[in-house]
Structure 1
């Protein structure tokens, strides 16, 4: 089992004739001080040159119609990540490959400029952070998310951002300026406040308290910020619902959301292995509750119910969440971003006005 990684192994996927892969990856900064010397390996980043950059979405239970993913794979290594199976499309494992063999799209801003320049382009908010975290560690060097934000700010184009990283604060200058025109909202994921749980659950994501502080700083800068408790994992993090809601509300979050843990395709065996490695005392109980939430299966793919679950456990989580939100003074309407300020990107000829 790789220290500092979420997945305990590389899965094989018969769906895409996936071959066995050799695992590699970075380690947590302090692991050598704790566990002694080890052979350090590196995360691999492959440059990808897609033909287009905007992905259109038609799912009725997702609150956006178009999104951009500056990267494929995610170094945060969250064991529950529903996007892990997408790595199988590249004949790579949704396990360790997903968090160590990454893809970067340095042409993203140029591709976006071309799409926004089309005469038939329809303005609607673009979501960042839907299939990979836009502020995962490699953003520090690649700065692809920053380049996308710079273009959207230039065009006065609305954007939603979801992340579990306080690295977003590096772009607070752009975000604050866009917020003044109601062009941006941010969701910060806080799944647990327990650093011991976070170290294995989402091993390379920033400390939970750093994310709470990011909420505070964004709110202080006038950026509309929300908190996501997704996913809520029964018998692992569900006991923290009330505490997390109170903490993020005090930090300045305008609203909170949640989704019970989802285990599509290869995520289920990876999650089971993680439970066996880190929570053997309750692994069977956790999976029993998840199956009750998901209609007797590891995962429910159906629209609507996949986001909230079903049955007694789903009702209990929902009731606790609603009460916690009310107690924290939350529950206001969501911000509606403006689309009427959009102006196409400047081309070779500068704007006259």
Structure 2
């Protein structure tokens, strides 16, 4: 059962907004996650979450966000989903993310959401309202193989359902991206997988792919991941230990080849490999206005 707490604050100011979809502020309605992805970096010691698989619910999140937004003089993009998924399974019951989106719509802030769940479709009505200003959704796809995804991301929606959600959001004019990260070495780092993600992105109207051809590995995250590799993929752990040792950033061994294939495929379909941002959207509109005068 999730543990409920009263948080003291919800919004944090981003130190480097341009680094993640141009978000100026971030919030998390939950601490921990029920998706149980075997590779999750949030298990690392530096984030100070003792048991990331135990969900902590910030039951006063909507109340806090309403108060904080009311007092914000400077508008900016509000982001959620970088640490804990806003559409973790318990969101069906608590509806805290939905309540926070209603507050964001009321105070007319732009939004960026990162998730691995098609539950986001429940909130299409609010997202369309926010998109009168700006709404951006990135859904993580690391493989198009639903059987593999079920092992590495056991609590998340299937890759197929995530892609369909992207298609619906795109059709409604929401800014959609695929966060193609991490690409797990020795499991997902094939040209076939990368190209299939791009092909499906094109089919479902996605205009941006944000890739990381590799993964992070450190302390508790590494220990947890290796235990899961031993259980589901015997022999793969030894390849990691031989290839990466104790380093943090683990790029795929065929990164240059995959990068070339990814770039060519995205160029073919007109898919950008850059993060979309509210600021770039505003700039594009302004340029269009001046060019048409």
Q: Does 1:84 align with 2:43?
A: yes
In the other structure, the counterpart of 1:49 is 6
Query: In structure 1, what is the Cα distance between the partners aligned to 2:158 and 2:202?
Result: 18
- Name 2:221's counterpart in structure 1: 267
Which 5+ residue runs of structure 2 have no aligned equivalent? 280-293
State the alpha-carbon separation in 2 of the partners of residues 87 and 102 from structure 1. 18
Structure 1 pair 204–178 and aligned structure 2 pair: CA distance change class (3 A): same
Q: CA deviation at 1:275?
A: 1.2
Q: Is the 8 A contact 1:66 1:127 kept in 2?
A: yes
Shift of 1:52: 0.8
Q: What residue number does 1:283 align with?
A: 237
1:297 paired residue number: 246
Show CA shifts across 1:7-58 (max 9, x none). Answer: xxxxxxxxxxxxxxxxxxxxxxxxxxxxxxxxxxxxx211121111012332
How big is the alpha-carbon RMSD for the aligned residues of Structure 1 and Structure 2?
2.5
Distance 1:189 1:312, change over 3 A: closer
The answer to whether residue 57 in structure 2 is matched with residue 104 in structure 1 is yes
Pairing 1:207–2:161 present: no
Higher-Rg structure is 1
**C-alpha distance in 1 between matches for 2:46 and 2:233:** 26
The separation in 1 between residues aligned to 2:76 and 2:34, in whole angstroms, is 29
**Does 2:271 correspond to 1:320?**
no
What is the SS of the residue equivalent to 2:6? coil
Aligned to 2:186: 235
What's 2:206 paired with? 253
TM-score (norm 1): 0.72
Bigger Cα displacement from structure 2, 312-321 vs 221-230: 312-321
What is the CA-CA distance between 1:82 and the residue it aligns to? Answer: 1.1
Going from structure 1 to structure 2, the CA distance change for 1:207 and 1:87 (only over 3 Å counts) comes to farther
Q: Structure 1 residue aligned with 2:31, among 72, 87, 106?
A: 72
Structure 1 pair 227/319, CA: closer, same or farther in 2 (3 Å)?
same
Identify if the C-alpha distance between structure 1 residues 267 and 61 changes in structure 2 by more than 3 Å, giving closer, same or farther: farther
Task: Determine the C-alpha separation between the residues in 2 that align with 1:279 and 1:311.
Answer: 17
Relative distance call for 1:109 and 1:311 in structure 2 (3 A) is closer
Given that residues 268 and 298 in structure 1 are in contact (C-alpha distance below 8 angstroms), is that contact kept between their aligned partners in structure 2?
no
Residues 185 and 251 in structure 2, CA contact (< 8 A), matched pair in contact too: no
Residue 88 of structure 1: CA displacement? 7.3
2:101 and 2:18 map into 1 onto residues whose CA distance is 26
Unmatched segments (≥5 aa) in structure 1:
1-43, 301-308, 339-353
Q: Which moved more, 1:263-272 or 1:128-137?
A: 263-272
Give the 3-state SS of the residue equivalent to 1:135 in structure 2.
Answer: coil
Q: 1:140 aligns to what SS in structure 2?
A: helix
Between the aligned partners of 1:72 and 1:87, the Cα distance in structure 2 is 14
Is this contact kept in 2: 1:156–1:183, CA < 8 A?
no
| 1:232–1:287 CA distance, 2 compared to 1 (3 A) | farther
Which one has a larger percent helix, Structure 1 or Structure 2? 2
